[in-house]
Structure 1
Amino acid sequence: MPTSDAEGKDWSLERFAAVKPDTVCDIGPGEGTYAKLFRPAHEGVWWTGIEIHKPYVAKYKLRSTKARRMYDELHVEDARQSEQHLFHRDLVIFGDVLEHMPREDAIDLLERAEAAGAWNILVSVPIVESVQDEIDGNPHEAHVHQWDPDDLDTVLAGLGGRTDAMRGDTLGVWWWSRRG
């Protein structure tokens, strides 16, 4: 769904406020959950969004206007084919996105973000059985891989750096940092 469960959002916001990134890349913003939540916590951030489903851009008003700040830069494309430089940010957000692709593609995307120079990576995925098919004509909403939290711990540890995690009843949330 283009929305996200509230679980873990306060935990994520605390880390965002502590880090105060100047640049953010939000992969699969959907309705813009993280931009809406994080923007008020730290002004002056340059927000890049990479949204695969073009109809969401207009439906959720993802482009910034004078009246409403959402994404300063928006790319309508599959993040797996995005230019490497888009991941060179202080924070790259994979908020409820990695379950929508095969495990190997998700790992490759995380590794690309780290290799591009991402300083911090936020990951949120369902950690309970979460079957989901296409929604509103968007085939990219289907859940392709069910993440085991221990597996994601291992994948993020393989990136080096330091990882904090919060495991809720429905979602697991990880904050990976290049700073050890």
Structure 2
Amino acid sequence: MPYSSDVFDADIEAFLRTHDAQSYLDLGPGAGKYGRMIRRVNPDALIAAVECDDTYISYFELEGIYDVVARARIETAFDALPDLTADVVLIGDVIEHLKKSEGIDLLNYLIYRCHYCLVVAPQKYVQYSWRERAAEAHRSVWAPRDFEAFGAEVQVRSSTLLATLTGYLADPEAEFGYDFVRPEPLAGLV
């Protein structure tokens, strides 16, 4: 569904207010809740979204919320974007729509390319296709232990989890390759 639980909305907004970020990537924005939240907190930020459903893009007027909206499936959206970076990535009620292996691959890709990644996922919430949209079916189960390998801080509230991953761009122990120059934020999308 294009809507998500609001159980962590206040926590996410507090995170956005306390972390100085200039670029954001919202994966599966649906109705654009996080894009609007970012605009309230940081009106001048560069915000990109990746959405697979054209009808959501037009119906929810996502192009009026985000600086760029890429129409793509998350599973393949980043295959040709080796230099993509963002200060903050939001994956709100989306990762459960991917096969578990695809979700793990996505997190591994993003950990190199962001300062922080916030993942919201339902717990034991059964959902199949919705209004003839196969992409809305849940395809994997996520639990706090799934984020341990990423050193994430995980909270669970009302059958929903919030995992906060610190990406390598914010990790003081991360080492960067020879002649490392951070690419422009959201390179390839904007």
Q: TM-score, normalised by structure 2?
A: 0.82
Query: In 2, Cα distance between the equivalents of 1:74 and 1:155?
Result: 30
After superposition, give the CA deviation of every residue in 1:146-174 in whole Å (9 maximum; x if it has no partner): 2122223x2422xxxxx332210121011
Q: Which runs of 4+ in 1 moved over 3 A?
A: none
Query: In 1, Cα distance between the equivalents of 2:8 and 2:51?
Result: 22
* 1:78 alignment partner in structure 2: 73
SS at match of 1:110: helix
State how 1:1-180 maps to structure 2 within 5 Å. 1-64=1-64, 70-83=65-78, 84=81, 87-115=84-112, 117-127=113-123, 129-152=124-147, 154-157=148-151, 163-178=152-167, 179-180=170-171
SS at match of 2:86: coil
Q: TM-score, normalised by structure 1?
A: 0.87
Give the greater-gyration-radius structure (CA).
2
| Unpaired stretches in structure 2, ≥5 consecutive residues | 172-190
Q: Does the Cα contact within 8 Å between 1:122 and 1:173 map onto a contact in 2?
A: yes
Query: In 2, Cα distance between the equivalents of 1:60 and 1:41?
Result: 20
Provide closer, same or farther for how the CA distance between residues 23 and 73 of structure 1 changes in structure 2, counting only shifts above 3 A: same
RMSD between superposed Cα atoms in Å: 1.5
Give the percent of matched residue pairs that are identical in Structure 1 and Structure 2: 22
| Unpaired stretches in structure 1, ≥5 consecutive residues | 65-69, 158-162
Q: Does the Cα contact within 8 Å between 1:3 and 1:30 map onto a contact in 2?
A: yes
